[in-house]
């Protein structure tokens, strides 16, 4: 049941609710799921940042979106100025099927790259990061978000975790192959990016954070080259 109301608003679809919903497959996402467009807090935060802090909707650009999430996919493909390319392996809404470690894309092709909660699924993540750096234009923007544990200084990996059951037990999800730590920025920089960790969400008034169902500890990893 969708609880219509006025307290919470999804900035992507603009629907209003008495509360957001809980993600069925992960109850820890309580009151964070938009029942209409299925956006989560990370999608809404990125969308607000793009509207507020960039000009990507005001000029012709190429945008690469890896393993596109439905609410952002809907928004980007509706933007007339964006030449929108979606890519991934076994992903919905994708135009280009590719292994992110070995892409068929040309150098310096995209002004914007969005890769959200993808790299933690890839064994050779730094190689994938290098590919993303290669196809990003100089001066372009890459938004490379991954879940991380801020209590860990160093990313935790265990190559002996080969089964879904082992990975679920060790990394918290059956298709994850690591838990990123605070060195996530270092790994991106090792791949060739210049990285800025942006606490944009904490510049917003508390009532806006609440209204849009954001998480105040979520940082944006904004990559350039």
Q: What is the mean pLDDT of residues 135-143?
A: 98
Boundaries of every domain in the chain: 40-224
What does the pLDDT read at residue 90? 78
Sign of CA dihedral 70, 71, 72, 76: positive
Predicted local confidence at residue 4, as pLDDT: 57
Flag whether the pTM goes above 0.75: yes
Instruction: Domain 40-224: give its CATH code.
Output: 3.40.50.150
User: What pLDDT does 1 receive?
Assistant: 46
- The tens digit of pLDDT for each residue in 173-200 reads 999 999 999 999 999 999 999 999 999 9
* pLDDT tens-place string over residues 47-104: 999 999 999 999 999 999 999 999 999 999 999 999 999 999 877 788 999 999 999 9
Rounded CA separation 51/173 (Å): 32
Residue 28's pLDDT band (boundaries 50, 70, 90)? low
pLDDT tens digits, one per residue of 107-129: 999 999 999 999 999 999 999 99
* Strand pairing class (4-9; 16-17): antiparallel
Helix (H, G, I), strand (E, B) or coil at 13: coil
Distance of CA 167 to the CA centre of its chain: 21
Q: Is the pLDDT of residue 220 over 60?
A: yes
């Amino acid at each position: 049941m969708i609880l219509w109301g006025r307290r919470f608003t999804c900035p992507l679809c603009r629907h209003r609710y008495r509360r957001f919903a809980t993600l069925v497959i992960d109850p820890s996402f309580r009151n964070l799921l938009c029942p209409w467009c299925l956006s989560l807090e990370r999608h809404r935060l990125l969308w607000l940042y793009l509207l507020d802090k960039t000009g990507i909707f005001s000029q012709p650009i190429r945008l690469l979106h890896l393993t596109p999430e439905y609410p952002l996919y809907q928004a980007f493909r509706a933007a007339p100025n964006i030449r929108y390319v979606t890519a991934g392996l076994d992903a919905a809404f994708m135009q280009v099927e590719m292994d992110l470690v070995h892409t068929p894309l040309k150098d310096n092709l995209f002004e914007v790259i969005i890769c959200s909660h993808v790299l933690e699924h890839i064994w050779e993540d730094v190689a994938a990061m290098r590919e993303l750096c290669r196809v990003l234009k100089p001066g372009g923007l890459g938004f490379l978000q991954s879940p991380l544990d801020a209590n860990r200084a160093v990313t935790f990996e265990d190559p002996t975790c080969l089964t879904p059951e082992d990975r679920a037990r060790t990394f918290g999800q059956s298709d994850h192959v690591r838990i990123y730590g605070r060195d996530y920025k270092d790994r991106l920089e090792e791949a060739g990016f210049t990285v800025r960790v942006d606490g944009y969400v904490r510049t917003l008034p508390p009532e806006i954070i609440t209204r849009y169902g954001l998480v105040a500890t979520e940082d944006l990893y904004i990559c350039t080259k």
